[in-house]
Amino acid sequence: GISHRLQRISPTDRLKYKDVIIPPNTSVGMSSALIHHDEGIFPQSHEFIPDRWTDINERRRLNKYLVAFSKGSRQCIGMNLAFAELYMAVAVVFRKYDMDLHDTTVDDVKLHSDMMLPHAKKGSKGVRVVLQPAQELN
């Protein structure tokens, strides 16, 4: 997905961030990748912890910071279609195949640079998996 800086400008109002006053018409950028890995918001952000979303109050808090599709008036209008496609694709793949990681390390997927698109370190082959037909469940 896109990881570039999402620019925002307040044309008339001064903004305050902590002890910093930001004058009107000043470009302020944020990156979804940096927000999603802010340990103050998402502790253990590099770990798969689906239970962090089970408590309704915690889910409400975390949803404020889930900005993969941006937020507000510039939010991606195709977000719900993207989620529907993702749910269907993931369901089909996991139903039909068992997967094992092959020759992949954390360094192969860790965000190394961000030039409009996220990039792993140079020479990374990305996530590689071995697919085998799924075992039938009885």
Annotated binding site for heme: 76
Nearest CA to 26 among 34, 17, 18?
17
The answer for residues whose C-beta is within 8 angstroms of residue 46's C-beta and 6 or more apart is: 37, 106
DSSP symbol at 104: -
- Note the Cα 83 to chain centre separation in Å: 13
Token pair of 113, please? 């640079």
Cite the annotated binding site by residue number.
76
